[in-house]
Amino acid sequence: MHAQAAAGPLAMSGPPDVAVIKAGQLVRQATGGDLEAFEELVRRLQRQVYGFAFQHLRDFAEAQDLTQEIFVKLYRNLARFDSSRPFEPWFWKLATNTTINYRRKRVPAPTDQELDQAAEPAGKSQHDPTLVDALAQLDPAYRLPILLHYYADLSLEQVAASLGVTLPAVKSRLHRARAILRNSLAELDESSR
């Protein structure tokens, strides 16, 4: 279910299977040096990747920077992609590793004040600002599996492969993450009353 859903956002229209083939074709063409195919691939993925980067970093400029880095890394690593396997899990593993390294190298842990400032313009574009705020307070170790599973629509197995951990570890992290989010939402709801 998730594997098909993961391919869904790649397509503007048409059934999921066709979308998978189209994405695979674009990757093959891009691997052969077709820049137009790569541009189309970026066009289709950019919203999802930018959203993932923004939900993780909570800063528009940093999210743009990270998104760009993910796509440049994708281009440089296209030759390593095994076209007999699905593209999405491979891509999201690359995106996750890039995100982890990016955060480790370049982004200091944001202060609460910075988070509030960053959340201000985001709140206007988000339809669930309470959840966005709760997500922002979540430890990155818990936020990444949440974003990969619920936001990027990867299956539990694909999340495990992307993070390089076991399936039970992913389940455990997701349960813990959701419990923390649930508590944060309850606190935020109480404080807003």
Partner 1 sequence: MTKVPADQPGGLACVRARVLIESYVDGDLAATDPDLASRMKLHLAGCEDCRRQHEQAVSLPFRLKALRAPVPPASLLGNVMNAVRPARVESRRAWTLLIPEAALVAFIVWYLSGLEGLASVASGTVSDLQVLLNWGVGAAQPPSIPVADVFLLAALIALAITAAYHLSILSRMGAPSLRERRRA
Q: Provide the binding-site residues for partner 1, judged by CB under 8 A.
A: 35, 38-39, 42-43, 46-48, 50-52, 54-55, 60, 63-64, 67-69, 71-72, 75, 122, 125-128, 131-132, 135, 146, 150-151, 153, 171, 174-176, 178-179, 181-182, 185-186
Task: Show the CA angle centred on residue 149, arms to residues 145 and 191, nearest 5°.
Answer: 70
Q: Which of 170, 117, 179 is nearest to 144 (CA)?
A: 170
| Least distance to partner 1, CB of residue 13, Å | 18
Distance CA(119)–CA(121), nearest Å, equals 6
Cβ proximity to partner 1: between 2 and 22 the closer is 2
Cβ proximity to partner 1: between 24 and 67 the closer is 67
Cβ proximity to partner 1: between 19 and 74 the closer is 74
Cβ proximity to partner 1: between 5 and 165 the closer is 5
Q: Residues 51-72, buried b or exposed e (16+ Cβ, 10 A)?
A: bbbbbbbbbeebbebbbebbbe
